[in-house]
Amino acid sequence: LLIPGTQVMGWSQNSAEDPQGSPTVEINGQHFSGVGYELDGAANQDPILGQIVINPPLDAVTEAKITTQDYDAQFGQAVAAVVTAQTKSGTNSFHGDVFEYRKTDATEARNPFSQVAPDAVTGRLIPSAKYNQFGGSLGGPILKNKAFFFVDYQGTRQILGSSARVTVPTALVQSSCAAANIAAGTGGCDLSDYLVHPGKQIYNPRVAGVPAFANNFIPAQYLSPQALALLAMIPLPNLASDNNADNYAGSGSGKQHNDEVDARVDEQLSQRTHAFGRYSIFNNGISSNTIFGKAGGQGFSSPTNSFGGTASGRSQSAVAGMDIALSPKLLTDFRLGYLRYHVRTTKYSTADLATQVGIPGLNIPGQPFTSGPPAFYLNGDGLSNFGSALGVDACNCPLLETEDQYQIVNNWTRILGTHSLKFGVDGRYARNLRVPSDSNRAGELSFSATDTANLTGGFGLGTFLLGDVTSFNRYVSVSTNAKESQKRLFTY
C-alpha cells in the first residue's frame, strides 16, 4: 500500500472469508484480479476474492518483491502488479527462535458512548478482549552441504471485544405491543413517542383513503402476530435519546483461532542441480454472537467488522521445484504447485426463526441452505436491521467454498552473447465450487416507510408491525430461487 498508484478496494471481505486480514488491492487503476501473488514460484492467490491464500509468518520469509511494470513474460497472467515471496531454507548450522506476543483488556478504557451498560452475561462494561500470538521456527542440516530443512509454526488465539449503538423501539411501544390481544381484538401498539418528530405519522394502508392512525395508536386488529413475536425478542432501550434513535448499546466478543505450519526441504543434488519442496497449511475458526441474541443483528467479530456467525477454513499450498544449470549459457527450472482455499460459514443460529414465528415458505424443509433466520430491513427507522444477512451481520451464510488450483511451470533461459532469451510455459487447471448466500436464502424482508405514508409521513416500524402473512408471502420467491440456484451450482 506504500507503492504509488495502490489503494484498498472500497469493500472488504469479512473476517470469516479472510481470517488473515489480506487486503484486496487495486494497482494503477486495474481490477484486483490483475494483481498476481506468488510464493516460491507458485500461484498464491484466491481468484474469486483477490486475496493472498497463504501468508507465511515473518520468520519464514527470506525475500519479497513487488513489481508494477516491465516484469518478465513469465508473469504475464498479471496486468497490475506481481508480488513474489520466497520462504527460507535451512543452512549448515541450526538456527531457530520462539516467540509470544500477548495483550489483554486490562489497561483499556471504556467507550463512553457505547459502553454504558454492564453486559447481561459478564456484568462488565468493557467486553472481553485478548490477543495471544505464539510460535517458532527451526532450520538446519539434514546432510551437511547436501540437504537442509526449515519448519515454522504460528498460532493465534484471539478474543475481540467490541460494542455498538443501535435503535430499538421505545419502552412504550414494546409494553403496549406486548399487551395487545390480537385474538380478542383488544389493545394495540402505541407509537405516540414518535409523533414529536415530524414525518413519523403512521397511515393505515388497508383502509380506503389511507387515514391516519389517531395518536399513532395501531389497534390489535391490524397488528401482525409474526411481527409481535419478533418484537418480543428485541431488548428494551438502555440509553436516553432525544429522537428515540441509537437508544440501545450492546457489546460482545468474537473468538478467532488460527494455526499455520510451513515445512521446507532443500537438496543440492549436484553442483548444477538444486531441488526443493514446501508444504504450508493454515487452519482457522471464528465465531461471534449478535447484538440482539436470538433475533440476530450486528455481530461482534471485531471493532471494524460486524460479522456474526461461525466459520471454519483450511488453506493449503504445496510446491516442488528444481533448478538445473545445463551449461554456463543454458538454464532451466521446473515448478509443480498446488493451492487450495476452503471455507464454510453458518449463521449465528440454525433455528428456523421464520417458521417459529409463523412466516411461511422461507425455511424450506429438506433444504439446509434455507435454514436459520431471515433478514429484516428497517434501516434504523424505529428499529435497526436484524436477523442475518450480508447487510445485517456481514454473514454470507450459509457459504460453502472450495477452490483448487494445479500448476506446472517450466522456464528456460539461454544466454546469447550480451543478450538473454527466456521462454517457457505456465499451465494451470483450476476448479471452484462456491455456494454463497449473497442474498439470504432464508429470505430478506424490507419494511419501507412509504408503505405507511400518505403524501407525507410513514414509518418503517409501523410498516413492520402492520405486516401480515399475505405481505410476508411476497418473499417466498426469494427462497425458491435460492433453492434452484443451489441445485444448479451443485449440478455444474
Q: Which residue has the cell 493449503?
A: 316
User: Residue 284 is inside which H or E element, if any?
Assistant: strand 273-288
Per-residue pLDDT band for 196 (boundaries 50, 70, 90) equals confident
pLDDT of residue 347: 95
Per-residue pLDDT band for 224 (boundaries 50, 70, 90) equals very high
pLDDT of residue 468: 54
Nearest to 279 by CA among 318, 314, 315: 318
Per-residue pLDDT band for 485 (boundaries 50, 70, 90) equals very low
Question: Which tens digits make up the pLDDT trace of 247-306?
Answer: 999 888 889 999 999 999 999 999 999 999 999 999 999 999 999 999 999 998 876 668
Overall average pLDDT of the 54-69 stretch: 90
Q: Which three cell numbers stand for residue 229?
A: 413475536
Q: What's the half-sphere exposure (Cβ side, CA atoms, 13 Å) at 151?
A: 5
Question: Which tens digits make up the pLDDT trace of 371-401?
Answer: 999 999 999 999 999 999 999 999 999 999 9
> What whole-number distance in Å separates Cα of residue 40 and Cα of residue 481?
43
Model confidence at 477: pLDDT above 60: no
pLDDT of residue 490: 29
Of residues 127 and 204, more confidence is placed in 204
Alpha-helix runs per DSSP H in 149-262: 171-179, 225-231
Overall average pLDDT of the 169-183 stretch: 93
Where is average pLDDT lowest: 217-231, 341-355, 445-459?
445-459
pLDDT of residue 480: 39
> What whole-number distance in Å separates Cα of residue 209 and Cα of residue 200?
18
Q: Average pLDDT, whole number, for the chain? A: 88
Q: How many helices (H) and strands (E) does the chain have?
A: 7, 22
Per-residue pLDDT band for 136 (boundaries 50, 70, 90) equals very high
Pairing mode, strands 444-446 and 375-377: parallel
What contacts 473, CB < 8 A, 6 or more positions away? 360, 361
Overall average pLDDT of the 413-432 stretch: 92
Overall average pLDDT of the 35-42 stretch: 92
Nearest to 269 by CA among 336, 338, 325: 325
Q: What's the half-sphere exposure (Cβ side, CA atoms, 13 Å) at 450?
A: 1
Per-residue pLDDT band for 121 (boundaries 50, 70, 90) equals low
Contact 413, 422 (CB under 8 A): yes
Q: Which three cell numbers stand for residue 226?
A: 409474526
Model confidence at 324: pLDDT above 90: yes
Per-residue pLDDT band for 214 (boundaries 50, 70, 90) equals very high
